[in-house]
Amino acid sequence: MELALPVWFEIGSLIVLVLILAADLLIVYRRPHVPSVRESSLWVGFYVGLALIFALLMLILGDAEHAGQFLAGWLTEYSLSIDNLFVFVIIMARFSVPRKYQQEVLMVGIVIALIFRGVFILLGAQLIANFSWIFYIFGAFLLYTAIHQALAKEGDDEEAESKIIVFLRRHIAISNEYDGSKVRTVVDGKKLFTPMIIVFIAIGTTDLIFALDSIPAIFGITQSPFIVFTANIFALMGLRQLYFLLGGLLDRLHYLKYGIAFILFFIGVKLVFHAMHENELPFINGGQHIEWAPEIDTWTSLYVIIGTMVVATVASLIKMRIDGRKVVTDEAKGEVTSEPVDR
């Protein structure tokens, strides 16, 4: 039987995490700059270490099940957050956001993501508490999302996003130039929005879409709102620094999106099995629990998530190496064929 975590630990943890995020936001606001690789590495390492210490505290104050659920949930949300970074990179590049102000944009995006996820966590917890059949919907949604993630073409999201941009430019007066990180500026005595408003809307829309994916995914691992929320906070902490650390590497991790799709598919299957095991719908098995439906435990989920991310990352790095060698070979061949022949 699971031991309940102390109330003081849950309240204290949330207060400390909010204070850390607030301090991070304050640092970015007071000193906008492009962090070096060393600075980004130290911050990412700090936040990862903090998450592992938190898991250890959950093990000591609770039990292995709590710690395992947090680790599996955190890794799932972290992998989905990395997927989120792909879109952030595209948005920043498309709107030519000055690198000096990209930290502020990312921090605003993270705050918006926390708000959206907090709302969905509360709604999801209430739905789960009152309607066990909601796991069927969560599972089906994740299965659909996983298939879409694996099969979607790069231009699909860009086409939808360009329509939003055209709509905004038609209905809102927007300047052609940035004014620092300001959303509003004055041009020739006229108040206008800066392109930053489009960037914030694009990132906010992205956050909303990813919240719809990530919350059902983590509820497939744990039904504890506290673990769900803290796993999301830890996944988003350090995301800004990870953006600058990975940089151009993100778009070259070719198989990462397939790894994330597999994780979503796996958790979707797990949710459907859980819904079948807890089944109360009268038109399925006469409203009786489906006992043969397997229950996938937390540690199995953790091993699958870690294994999938390792395989996807290693496969991507191998592909990068092969592609790099191919480019060098092609360039060498081009140099040879372009040399004049002495007769």
Give 10-residue mean pLDDT values along the chain (343 residues).
77 90 77 78 90 93 90 88 76 79 81 85 83 84 85 61 67 78 80 84 79 83 89 84 73 79 88 82 79 81 88 88 76 56 45
Read off the tokens for 140.
Answer: 């089906």
The answer to whether the beta carbons of residues 73 and 298 sit under 8 Å apart is: no
CA distances from 260 to 237, 267, 272, 313, 321 (A): 19, 11, 18, 11, 22
The answer to whether the beta carbons of residues 213 and 82 sit under 8 Å apart is: no
Measure the CA angle with vertex 299, ends 296 and 302; round to 5°.
100
Give the separation between CA 257 and CA 83, rounded to whole angstroms: 7
Residues 6+ apart with CB under 8 A from 105: 92, 97, 181, 196, 199, 200, 203
Q: What was the pLDDT predicted at 210? A: 76
Structure-derived torsion over alpha carbons of residues 84, 150, 225, 292, reported in degrees to the nearest 10:
-170
Q: What was the pLDDT predicted at 338? A: 46
In angstroms, how far is CA 22 from the centroid of its own chain? 20
Residues 6+ apart with CB under 8 A from 2: 62, 63, 65, 66
- Any idea what DSSP says for residue 174? B
Beta strands in the chain (DSSP E): 184-187, 190-193
Burial (CB < 10 A; 0-12, 13-18, 19+), residue 256, is buried
CA distances from 239 to 4, 86, 109, 232 (A): 30, 12, 10, 11
> Packing angle between helix 64-94 and helix 196-219, nearest 10 degrees?
160
CA-wise closest residue to 73 among 207, 211, 221, 210: 221
Single-letter residue type at 196: M
DSSP notation for 228-296: HHHHHHHHHTTHHHHHHHHGGGGGG-TTHHHHHHHHHHHHHHHHHHHHHHT---TTSGGG---TTSPPP
Place of tokens 């395992």: 68
Strands 190-193 and 184-187: antiparallel
CA-wise closest residue to 102 among 120, 111, 113, 89: 89
What's the N-to-C CA distance of the chain in angstroms?
87
